[in-house]
Amino acid sequence: MKNNRKFLMVILTVVLVILTACGNSSDKSNAEPNNQSSNNDENKTEHSLEDTDKSELNDQRDISSTNTNDGESLKTNNTGTTESKKEEYIEKLNDTKKEMDELLSNSNDTATYAMKKVEGDRYDAWDELLNEVYGVLKEQLAKEEMDQLREEQRNWIKYRDDTALEASKKYKGGTAEHLEYVTVLANLTEERCYELVESYM
């Protein structure tokens, strides 16, 4: 009985040593990339901490100059940030418009199915951009303004869908019915993107 226990203990010890050795070798093989990524993460953290410290220092300077200049410095800084964001999105909208116009002009296939595909792609692109702009506005606007915009946006979505449906009714039952619906959705969503950026950003 004692020999069986000793034998069992020896086997367990050997198995444990083998498992430990296998674990260590895989840890070593994974350690180098992990060490590199953790070093990179540490460097990123150090840079972001430095950037944070610098931005906090700049914020403190802005606040102190605001106190001495009746708030004009802070307003200029915030307006400048808003203006650059607005310009960035106007450029993005213009690039998307150019891309969508090229998509339309390069579409030689006049089959209804192909035209629906092009208009569907246009709508998807503008809808995605509209959601992006709306997300930026959620971060920028004060709570009361955002609540007002949210209500306005709900009303606009209903208007857009109703308008597209009404426009498609003139082709009711025809192959162009859905094409007209998607085309109107795309056009109205494009207009709304520009409207949100111009009016709210």
| CA 193/CA 132 separation, integer angstroms | 9
Q: Give the tens place of pLDDT for each residue, 45-82.
A: 333 333 434 333 344 334 333 333 333 333 334 445 55
Q: Give the tens place of pLDDT for each residue, 3-17.
A: 666 665 666 565 555
Q: Find the angle CA(7)-CA(13)-CA(19) to the nearest 5 degrees.
A: 135
Q: Find the angle CA(188)-CA(192)-CA(194) to the nearest 5 degrees.
A: 125
Which of 146 and 46 is assigned the larger pLDDT? 146
Fold that domain 82-200 belongs to in CATH: Substrate Binding Domain Of Dnak; Chain:A; Domain 2 (1.20.1270)
- The CA radius of gyration of the chain, in Å to the nearest whole number, is 30
Q: How far is CA 141 from CA 125, 135, 138, 145, 163, in A?
A: 24, 10, 6, 6, 28
Q: Token pair 């891309």 is at which residue?
A: 99
Provide the residue ranges of all domains of the chain, joining segments of one domain with +.
1-68, 82-200
Indicate the pTM of the whole model: 0.58
Tell me how far apart the terminal alpha carbons of the chain are, to the nearest angstrom: 83
